[in-house]
Structure 1
Amino acid sequence: MEVAVSLSTGVLEVVLGKLGNILMDEYELQTGAKDGIRYIREELESMQTALEKVSKVPPDQLDKQVKIWARKVREMSYSIEDTIDSFMLHVDDSDDGEYSGSSAACCPCVSAKSMLPRSYKARRDIAAEINRIKEEVDEVSKRRERYKVDSIFVAPASYDPRLLALYEDKEKLVGIDHSTDEIIKLLSMEGEGASEQKLKLVSIVGPGGMGKTTLANAVYKKLEEQFDCTAFVSVSLQPNVKNILSGLLRQVTASKVKDDLEEGKDKDKKSLHRRESQKHDGNTETWSEKELIDKIRHVLEKRRYLIVIDDIWEEQPWKLIKCALFENKLGSKVITTTRNTEIAKLCSADEVDGIIHQLQPLSDGDSEQLLYYKIFKNEGCPTELKDVSQKILKKCKGWPLAINAIASLLANKPTQTQGQWYSVLNSISTGLENNHGVKDMRLILSLSYRDMPAQLRDCLLYLSIFPEDHIIGRDDLIQRWIAEDLVHGRQDDYLYELGNKYFNELINRSMIQPIDVDAFGRAQACKVHDLVLEYINSLSAEEDFVTIFNGLQSFPQSDSIHRLSLRNSEGEHGIPKAIKRLPHVRTLVVSSCFFYSTPSLSIFPVLRVLELQRCTESNIKGVENLVHLRYLRLTQAYYFFYDGDADHCINLPERIGNLQLLQTLDLKDAMIKELPHTVVQFSQLRVLEISLRKFDKRCETLLLQCLCNVKQLEALCINAPDLSLDFMLQVDWAPTHLRRFTASPREQSKHMLRSGWVELSPFSRLPRWINSSLLLSDLSIMVRTLAQEDLEILEVLPVLRSVDLEVIQATGTRLEFNGSVGGNGHATAFQCLGNLKFASRAVGLVFKPGAVQELQKLYLCFDVAETKDVHGDFDFHSLENIASLKTLDVDIDCRCARLWEVEAVEAALSNATKLNPNCPTLGLTRHFPDLILHDQEEEIPEHLQAKKKEDALLSRVGPFGGYGGRARDIRVTPHRLEDVTIHSANVVHSLAFSYADHNGQQHSTGPWGSRDARVSTIHLGPSECLIKVSGSIGSSSEAAKLITSLIFVTNEASYGPFGKCIGDPFEFHVPSNSSIVGFFGRAGTRLDAIGFYFRPL
């Protein structure tokens, strides 16, 4: 089938703008050269008009010669733009009196001696280049006349979107309830062997775009709470089975065992979950498929599970995944989705008690409801459009994606008339009635595609550079668009807003799917539906817009490559060594530098966007010579990034500052050694995202200089696991363009309770310069303390929409969100705040009447016991003052909390939401429920004072070590340490100990880690107490950073070393007249970190 022809005019529009800039007086050119540029510009404007006209014509109406002419125009436009960019770049260099010899190699049209455009030779060479371009333009113009391009008739079209947002709320699902109930019924049907509760599998089969994934996800969400562990993974057309198995393993291991709090029930399951959580740590990228399968089977062996395997295309991937699905006779359920009936039959083989569910198109009633809802919302269809709407629905034949595409096309019309609807109806090819499958979808998608303006079409085509099922961040995508000049306007300050408009427009037209929608309906990311991606991939390949190379086909002609994606493959397939130059490549994405023969960057002279995934220092050699580069993103392998070893850190080139046009520097997933001194030259930087491990005073000064030199910085993200950023507190900096600011010691996706409450925060307090960031929209920051005055700084920021605060030290007083209201009756404090996340060991927040009037999503995370100790109660009644609140999600840390305290928290939160007039939904999760204190004597609140007195004497320090494993802590407040048991070899494998509480009752905990090494036990005498612990922190094959040795010193003797003293030393000596009484830390299969509880003797 012939797909729609894009005939992109976006690059022509950019070229015309740049030609206009050259004609400005600041560029001294020969008179003839200026005349030539005017002529070229006029001819290109005429060609642009013809291309826009042709792009509206259905592909079957276009002559082949017209398509060839359009391709020639496009290639010529790319070449002209490369010439202009090189010229303007070197003009700027000469004006500054600076010239780097390395730049000469990057200019295809201007020699090294012509860098000074005001010289006679430079003007002469530029004039010669213009004459060459003029001759090429003349030839293309003559072809246009020969092919009679202008004779093509196209009806005039206008574009004025009426529908502002189709996704303000969660998209209404039509016809899903009946199908969901039917799948659930099939999963619960009793077949042969039902008494053994055999594994039950339902395979959903149907054409692409029918809603298989939507249905499977609806069933999954409805049933997931009924199972011990769950997972949802996608296979896709070109699956990486190892990645799929790794994702499956992560999900089933992270799932929580359900806890019904009945005495003795599910103890085995909870114990198993703890053991598996300890073991599943480290890098699975190096595991074989067999190791991953064995691990998954072991995890699933004693658990009742629900797993969805989505989008299976071929037999072999399913056979491998099926090996991991352990038949445990516990009534586990599996759902698969596929487009292929034969694959569905394979999935539902007899040995798994399977059944096939053939997904049917939407009924006439549901189809009608979906179409009308997408266009008219709840207003209903006008009578005069009823007849034509039924004819349109007849051609869509109940396919949800087809209905959505047509609905979006109709909704974007300025008015809804019979004539317009019949025009759309007549445009739909009769192929819908004669053909089947993906071809029909392409025909429908082509209508929406041709209805887009040129710049939006280019932005959509750019998405083909991403692989299937990829989550594409909104801000990252917009910055790539800007770097490629796909988003362009008169004022650079508004490029982000324009890019955001394009992003939302693609969502409104149902061409991309919104992901992570916030309280204001803003999608933080997007995905591309499989069928849409297939469609734009075919368009992109036809236009040479994006070239995807995985080594399985011959390398394409180098002159036709403009954007190159080297996809992951099992072998080392890269660019052939015979290729010495790719002169027109603007974007290069290498998905895995480990598996590819990474190309030398010197062959990409005009590169603008560069992304190297899982790269090493050798992969970025020569990056400083890419003088056209505007976007640079580097990522490292998981075990390199979290190891922090200097050997694995990336050392940026010293001359990285040569990249004068760089707008985005994204190093948040790569660990850098240090900042080169040339970073202060980044004057055009708009986005800076970095991860830091070790920073000396020199680097601090360079970073501050860099920030102060960048006048238009829009996004700043600093991940600093082991560093204080307090050097940024006193800087005289006014980031007036800053929209997004993140400062955290952990990756943003990592849950704070899973990674443990950290002791070191990036900032000791909120930076005062934030009050100058009047455009700040998103803030995510960790501080040691937060005072009322800090909230008062944030509350006046006019467009602050999302705030994520993590506070290390709780204050004794509660923080108040004021209800300030202006003369117009609208809030003046936090007037736009829609999302608020607040995490602290002790949470005490007060929302005054009228406060946070726009807040719809609230998240809280706190320690139950510490909140009780600090604030004395669980007072959440002020939540009822948040009138617009829709959802309240709460994570509570139950460690060392009594059962009645946990239940009191839950009751207080439940009561507060019930009293809220908006009736928000409450999602509450207990963390570490197995560490809740269950007093056998049913201790009641009056005994709390004794515990508070005992706890007041207890202090803690640490932990020292790495970040692997999971957090480990004790259940009861320790009073005296009795004995310590260590398993050790080359490193410390595990730690266990016994202690007495203030009542003299004995408690034991551990081992934290594994017991597969030499064991040693220290028994403390009646008068012996531990006063000092020292050791070393190093690395091993099991972990990037862990405890390699320990030495224990008491008031009577010294014990150890246990392990080998390799790595960085650490030491803790208690204050005078004190002793160590217990430990906490982190452990998986080894002891990753250790911290100490101590108290006065």
Structure 2
Amino acid sequence: HDPRLASLFIEEAELVGIESSRDKIISWLQDGASDRGVISLVGMGGLGKTTLAKKVYDNQTTQYDCHAWITVSQSYQKGELLRTMIKQFYQSTKESLPQGMEEMSLTHKLREYLQQKRYLVVFDDVWEKEFWEFIKDCLPDDKKGSRVIITTRNYNTALFFKTSSIDRILKLQPLSEEKAWQLFCKKAFLSDCEGDCPSELEELSRDIVRKCEGLPLAIVAIGGLLSTKEKVLSQWQKLHASLGSRLHLTSITKILSLSYHDLPYHLKSCFLYFGMIPEDYSIRCVRLIRLWIAENFVKEDKDMTLEDVAEEYLTELIQRNLVQASWVDFDRKVRSCRVHDLMREIILRKSQELRFCQVLAHGDSSCDGQTRRLSIHSNTGIVSESISDLRIRSLFLFGVDEFPESLLHMFIASFKLLKILDFEDASLDYLPEGVGNLLHLRYLSVRNTKVKMLPKSIGKLHSLQTLDLKHSLVQELPIEIKGLHKLRHLLAYSLDDTIKINLNSRIGVKMHEGFGCLEDLQKLYFVEANHGISPITKLRQLRKLGITKLTGDNGRALCASIEEMHQLECLNVSALSEDEIIDIQHILSPPPFLQRLALLGRLEKLPTWISSLQHLVRISFGWSRMTDDPLKALEHLPNLLELGLLQAYDGEQLHFKAGGFQKLKVLRLDESNRLSLVIIEKGALPLLEELKIGPIPQLKEMPAGIHHLQNLTTLQFIDMRNEFRDRVLPDKGGQEYWIIEHIPLVQFCVLRGAIFYATHTLMRQIPTL
């Protein structure tokens, strides 16, 4: 039994939320192009690809000379698949089927049959791009307007099918909360409640729907199950309680399990790693990548760093729709990710079968004696002392509000073979000296804890690759840190977000002389320039560098160091005070791949080398007090997506000229006391999506030309004068409302501490496509 076939038999009443996608595909089929076109539907298992394709197929078959629907298995047999195609094409035209042919003859016969015909064929559930190499020779392109539709879970496979401009890719999204609710009700209550949910069951029912996260096949499966139960609260409470194990979703489990088994070996461990992360938890991609490297999951490549290889692994898992991107930045980089709850159930079952890891949560207290990875997801009171006998290699704490000192000592004393010790967000205020005895440790995180200092024994951790102290209370590193010769990532700073942002909001760490020997460092973020910055010159592998409390005396030395960092992608420099000049003019050959740059402190003028940064994506200036307009040097940077100016310019006018900032998506104009006029010419900032302005007390009128910004989706004003606000708000007269009425979201906010509060919001309804 192939559970994928179940989606072919969903009744018309249950087809909720696919209307717009169906209409879009039909319009593509009917676009009038005579060349053979391929339409690829991409999405994770159970998202409705097959259902959508079938609705389109049924709607369109009469528009073609012949048609066929082919379900492609992972282990398809070429000969059998060709016979099925011939059979369906012949049946669609009522012709007799030829008998007993070999693969070569079948290919020839199929191609011969389709010559000069307008055909439609669907290949459902394609797994590999090699399939197209095999099948395309059977599908002639006689300029008759033939169409091929494929469904796949793998975005790379869809890309391989896209060989011309008329080929299209549609990435399916989960159902909205309301569409998901409609679908659930039609399945669960149609037979005895006419599709309406009884009021006493609505709260539980909506929670059940939320657990399905917009996945149509999950909604239909659980709705079908509940349709067979009595509509009484006690029955539904019992079923709701059992949903944590998803025991009833066996068909979905089978469908989604196929995706795991198709993974290459090196990705299976990476995928199973999500089992240690709590349900509904989004993990930062960089954290996950560092963990994979520490686990030795990532293969070395002579032309790439381990981090780049691991990023490719994650990209493939996302493109296969096994992992979901939960936060995509404006530069289209995935910053955090997660797995669907149903997928996580599969991971946990497989992890248990392989003894890959064990999760202690919700009353679990005992461990499999063979487990090597342990993740604790609730208060540590559930942890039995018997785990001290385990040979744990990786230890994680999630959601642990209480962390007894005795348990901390037990972990460190018992688990001598630890490679990974991840205490991020734990209720922890110190690290004992014993941590230095964990000689195999590669990853240590006390991020977002109350740890104030590191023990001197940290210097014995010669295998350590990642030391994450971000948002802890550590302000100084022991001199012994220079013994960590394999260290790749040193993240050590905090932000004071209780006060209004200022030059000293970011607090770096003090480091002693001698850290220049850490030559494998890729990230050093942030270090105080308290002992000079000459050791940084030796750190030539750095990709990311952050420096605080820079003085004018250190400027030339910093420039010399930066010129040696040919791999540098991110540079953030802040001065000792607002009056301290950042002397960073003296770079003749800047890092060629620099993508992000922040200069916080006074600049006598804009460094000339900045205009040569062809890969720069994000740049911000703060407290620079430049007297010359910086826009002239920045407007033609070819890849710039974000620009921030915070007390950066002391002039009275900013002029965005036509043709400038062609790719910019985000613009922030903050705290300019003298600025009184902003002009945006037509043709400037054509792709701008987000604009934040203020406080700018001298700006009396709306920036001229803002109506030209047709891609602007969000306009935010911070602490602007009431007279400025009232010129825009319709209920206050709003003589300038016409300038911003095309923008979907306009907000007036006030800043209190480091937090924005919206006082007035204007929203325009965006038409649904």
When the two structures are superposed, what TM-score results if normalisation uses the length of structure 1? Answer: 0.41
1:785 equivalent to 2:597? Answer no
Q: Which has the larger radius of gyration?
A: 1
> Equivalents in 2 of 1:604, 1:478: separation in Å?
23
What amino acid maps onto 1:567 in structure 2?
Answer: H
> Equivalents in 2 of 1:527, 1:744: separation in Å?
34
1:857 equivalent to 2:665? Answer yes
1:534 equivalent to 2:351? Answer no
> Equivalents in 2 of 1:769, 1:583: separation in Å?
52
What is the aligned partner in structure 1 of residue 630 from structure 2? 815
Residue from 921, 927, 945 that aligns with 2:712: 921
Q: CA deviation at 1:690?
A: 0.9
Residue from 872, 877, 880 that aligns with 2:683: 880
> Equivalents in 2 of 1:709, 1:581: separation in Å?
44
Report how many aligned residue pairs link the two structures.
515
What amino acid maps onto 2:371 in structure 1?
Answer: I
> Equivalents in 1 of 2:573, 2:432: separation in Å?
26
Q: CA deviation at 1:815?
A: 0.9
Residue from 814, 832, 853 that aligns with 2:639: 832
What is the aligned partner in structure 2 of residue 163 from structure 1? 158
Counterparts of residues 884-895 of structure 1 (less than 5 Å): 885-893=687-695
1:572 equivalent to 2:381? Answer yes
What is the aligned partner in structure 1 of residue 373 from structure 2? 563
Deviations 1:991-1022 (A, max 9, x none): xxxxxxxxxxxxxxxxxxxxxxxxxxxxxxxx
What is the aligned partner in structure 1 of residue 68 from structure 2? none
Residue from 658, 676, 679 that aligns with 2:478: 676
Residue from 887, 910, 913 that aligns with 2:706: 910
Tell me the C-alpha RMSD between the 2 structures.
5.1
Tell me if structure 1 keeps the 8 A contact 2:532–2:554.
Answer: no
What is the aligned partner in structure 1 of residue 50 from structure 2? none
- Alignment CA distance shift 1:507-1:838 (3 Å): farther
Tell me if structure 1 keeps the 8 A contact 2:396–2:421.
Answer: yes
Counterparts of residues 86-485 of structure 1 (less than 5 Å): 161-164=156-159, 173=173, 179=179, 204=206, 211-212=213-214, 437-485=248-296
What amino acid maps onto 2:602 in structure 1?
Answer: T
What amino acid maps onto 1:458 in structure 2?
Answer: S
Q: CA deviation at 1:612?
A: 1.0
Tell me if structure 2 keeps the 8 A contact 1:514–1:525.
Answer: yes
What amino acid maps onto 1:635 in structure 2?
Answer: R
> Equivalents in 1 of 2:508, 2:359: separation in Å?
35
What amino acid maps onto 2:637 in structure 1?
Answer: F
What amino acid maps onto 1:592 in structure 2?
Answer: V
Q: CA deviation at 1:444?
A: 0.9
Q: CA deviation at 1:860?
A: 1.4
Counterparts of residues 385-784 of structure 1 (less than 5 Å): 437-491=248-302, 493-550=304-361, 552-558=363-369, 560-569=370-379, 572-574=381-383, 576=385, 578-589=386-397, 591-592=399-400, 594-596=402-404, 597-598=407-408, 599-613=410-424, 614=426, 616-637=428-449, 640=450, 650-691=452-493, 692=507, 695=510, 700=529, 704=533, 707-717=536-546, 723-724=549-550, 729=555, 730-731=557-558, 732-733=560-561, 734-742=564-572, 760=578, 764=582, 772-779=590-597, 781-784=598-601
What amino acid maps onto 1:815 in structure 2?
Answer: P
> Equivalents in 1 of 2:247, 2:392: separation in Å?
39
What is the aligned partner in structure 1 of residue 91 from structure 2? none
Question: Which sections of structure 1, spanning at least 5 residues, go unmatched?
Answer: 4-55, 59-156, 184-199, 215-312, 314-336, 350-434, 641-648, 746-757, 821-828, 914-918, 937-962, 969-1097
What is the aligned partner in structure 1 of residue 58 from structure 2? none
Q: CA deviation at 1:447?
A: 1.0
> Equivalents in 2 of 1:784, 1:832: separation in Å?
24
Helix, strand or coil for the counterpart of 2:275? helix
Q: CA deviation at 1:911?
A: 2.6
- Alignment CA distance shift 1:724-1:557 (3 Å): same
Helix, strand or coil for the counterpart of 2:704? helix
Q: CA deviation at 1:520?
A: 4.8
Tell me if structure 1 keeps the 8 A contact 2:640–2:661.
Answer: yes
- Alignment CA distance shift 1:786-1:508 (3 Å): farther
- Alignment CA distance shift 1:344-1:170 (3 Å): farther
Helix, strand or coil for the counterpart of 1:908? coil
- Alignment CA distance shift 1:687-1:177 (3 Å): closer
Q: CA deviation at 1:727?
A: 7.3
Question: Which sections of structure 2, spanning at least 5 residues, go unmatched?
Answer: 4-73, 77-126, 131-155, 162-167, 184-201, 217-221, 237-245, 494-506, 514-527, 728-750, 757-769
Q: CA deviation at 1:670?
A: 1.0
- Alignment CA distance shift 1:889-1:819 (3 Å): closer
Q: CA deviation at 1:443?
A: 0.9
What is the aligned partner in structure 1 of residue 612 from structure 2? 796
Tell me if structure 1 keeps the 8 A contact 2:544–2:570.
Answer: yes
> Equivalents in 2 of 1:169, 1:925: separation in Å?
34
What amino acid maps onto 1:736 in structure 2?
Answer: H
Q: CA deviation at 1:498?
A: 1.5
> Equivalents in 2 of 1:814, 1:624: separation in Å?
53
Helix, strand or coil for the counterpart of 1:736? coil
- Alignment CA distance shift 1:717-1:509 (3 Å): farther
What is the aligned partner in structure 1 of residue 500 from structure 2? none
> Equivalents in 2 of 1:567, 1:174: separation in Å?
27
What is the aligned partner in structure 1 of residue 620 from structure 2? 805
Tell me if structure 1 keeps the 8 A contact 2:374–2:395.
Answer: yes
- Alignment CA distance shift 1:724-1:593 (3 Å): farther
Helix, strand or coil for the counterpart of 1:526? strand
Q: CA deviation at 1:460?
A: 0.9
Deviating more after overlay: 465-474 vs 601-610 = 601-610
Tell me if structure 2 keeps the 8 A contact 1:205–1:344.
Answer: no
What percentage of aligned pairs have identical amino acids? 21
Tell me if structure 1 keeps the 8 A contact 2:464–2:487.
Answer: yes
> Equivalents in 2 of 1:762, 1:464: separation in Å?
49
- Alignment CA distance shift 1:697-1:537 (3 Å): closer
> Equivalents in 2 of 1:687, 1:736: separation in Å?
17
> Equivalents in 1 of 2:206, 2:615: separation in Å?
45
> Equivalents in 2 of 1:622, 1:806: separation in Å?
44
- Alignment CA distance shift 1:881-1:600 (3 Å): same
- Alignment CA distance shift 1:176-1:466 (3 Å): closer
When the two structures are superposed, what TM-score results if normalisation uses the length of structure 2? Answer: 0.56
What amino acid maps onto 1:793 in structure 2?
Answer: W
- Alignment CA distance shift 1:621-1:912 (3 Å): farther
> Equivalents in 2 of 1:603, 1:851: separation in Å?
61
